[in-house]
Amino acid sequence: MINGKRIAVVMPAYNAEKTLEQTVRELSDVVDIKILVDDSSQDGTAELSRRLGVQTFIHDANYGYGRNQQTCYREALAAGADIVVMVHPDYQYTPSLVPAMAGMVASGVYDMVLGSRILGAGALKGGMPLYKYISNRLLTAFQNLFLGVKLSEYHTGFRAFSRELLLTLPLLENSDDFVFDNQMIAQAVIFGFRIGEISCPTKYFEEASSINFRRSVQYGLGVLATTISFALHKLGLRRAPRFGATGRKIGPQYYERMA
């Protein structure tokens, strides 16, 4: 706990057996709840997760990274988490920063905290491919212009959230794919939540998950589409459920419907 708030770490996983134990072992004692959602892996991720004492949920099919996150947040909220930190179990981001990120949310200053690979100039040193670094910078500049905020990057997978944010954003309207992350930031901006950043070193190695060039292009196009949709919605030219108060949300009503 931090400031009396229960901290949950959620890990959206797919074939993460080789790096999962190292990730879990480095999680701080301030973490009250550890949850892993296995998106129908082909290795022993789920079995290892259970042996490590992590609450483990398994999808019956490979639904995608975005859908995995929806399950992660749903189960964390059901477990009573006040703050939820998403940590990729591929050990690309250092779990030792979880207390710092959770603390920034627990302070009441921020509703969302991003672990930025760009702050501190550690991305290229950590092995980020040059084309990904350049596209990251260009897409970030584009989004800062149209979203009206100033972030160092929108594309990190290391994030902390308040319970209120997770209950408010229409997360069920988002993509099942990797652009889910980007859509979530755009939602946080349009709903007026406060976003902070912390410098986070990153590591690129064989076992760390990384989308290929084709998927990177698809992701980039999704980012552009999300930004244009945001701008049109804000101007009142084209309403999008993703950015509206009536969009489908993750919350207690889900459990009531499923009971």
Side-chain-side CA neighbours of 131 within 13 Å: the count stands at 7
Task: Give the residue extent of every domain in the chain.
Answer: 7-258
Report the Cα 103 to chain-centroid distance in Å.
17
245 by Cβ neighbours in 10 Å (0-12 / 13-18 / 19+) ranks as exposed
Segment 91-109 shows an average pLDDT of 95
Could you tell me which of 47, 46, 48, 50 has the C-alpha nearest to residue 59?
A: 46
Residues pairing with 121 in the sheet: none
- How much is the pLDDT for 259? 44
Nearest residue to 74 via CA among 259, 249, 257: 249
Strands of the sheet with 195-199, listed across from one edge: 55-58, 33-38, 7-13, 83-86, 159-162, 112-116, 195-199
Annotate 53-79 with b (16+ C-beta within 10 A) or e (fewer).
Answer: ebbbbbbeeebbbbbbbbbbbbbbbeb
What would the mean pLDDT of 38-59 be, rounded to a whole number?
96
pLDDT band per the 50, 70, 90 thresholds, residue 243:
very high
Mean pLDDT for all residues in the chain: 91
CATH number for the segment(s) 7-258: 3.90.550.10
- Residue 34: per-residue pLDDT: 98
Tens of pLDDT, residues 190-228: 999 999 999 998 776 555 555 677 888 899 999 999 999
Q: What is the pLDDT of residues 4-18, one digit of tens each?
A: 999 999 999 999 999
Mean pLDDT over residues 163-176, rounded?
Answer: 97
